[in-house]
Amino acid sequence: MFTNKTFTMLKPDSVEKGNIGAILEKITASGFRIVALKLTQLTNADAEAFYAVHNERPFFGDLVTYMTRGPIVAAILEKENAVEDFRTLIGATNPTEAAEGTIRNMFADSISENAVHGSDSDENAAIEGAFHFSEREMF
């Protein structure tokens, strides 16, 4: 069972702006333990599969271009109630609606380039984590 864990990506805009350290500091200061961590880059096929649920949306092409344009930081995080607490920590999809002090409020520029991903369920956290990490990379 993959419970009390979530999966995150620090998206290309976060890496480009030099915000990896600041965002990871905010995540660990909020009580999450880093279980797995890597700098990597999504291929077109990766991004299309990852965001397949949005493939009918008008922004899908731009989303795939954005998510593949440079490296991301992939991580698995552990904390009691990880999925829900992490989504609270990152804030609303649109940074103009994200609460004060949330990661998107602090580090995101727009609804399309919104700094971080957070899994929406334990099931998806397990799928997304297993896509990026082997058992020997999870601690």
- Please give the positions annotated as active site: 117
Residue 13: partners with Cβ closer than 8 Å, 6 or more residues away: 66, 108, 109, 113, 115
Q: Residue 54 to residues 5, 40, 48, 86, 109: CA-CA distances in angstroms?
A: 24, 22, 9, 21, 21
Count residues binding ligand CMP (CB under 6 A): 8
Nearer to ligand CMP, 110 or 139 (CB): 110
- Alpha-carbon distance of 30 to 108, in angstroms, equals 18
Nearer to ligand CMP, 8 or 79 (CB): 8
Assess 93 for contact with ligand CMP (CB under 6 A). Answer: yes
Among 117, 126, 129, 133, binds ligand CMP (CB under 6 A): 117
| Rounded-to-integer distance, Cα 104 and Cα 87, Å | 10
CA distances from 90 to 56, 62, 121 (A): 25, 22, 15
Give the shortest CB-54-to-ligand CMP separation in angstroms: 6
Q: How many CB atoms lie within 10 A of CB 18?
A: 8
Q: Is 14 in the site for ligand CMP (CB under 6 A)?
A: no
Q: Is 121 in the site for ligand CMP (CB under 6 A)?
A: no
Q: Which is nearer to ligand CMP, 59 or 139 (CB)?
A: 59
- How many C-beta atoms surround the C-beta of residue 59 within 10 A? 12
CB of 84 to ligand CMP, least distance (A): 15
Q: Which of residues 40-69 bind ligand CMP (CB under 6 A)?
A: 54, 59, 63
Binding footprint of ligand CMP on the chain (CB under 6 A): 54, 59, 63, 93, 111-112, 114, 117
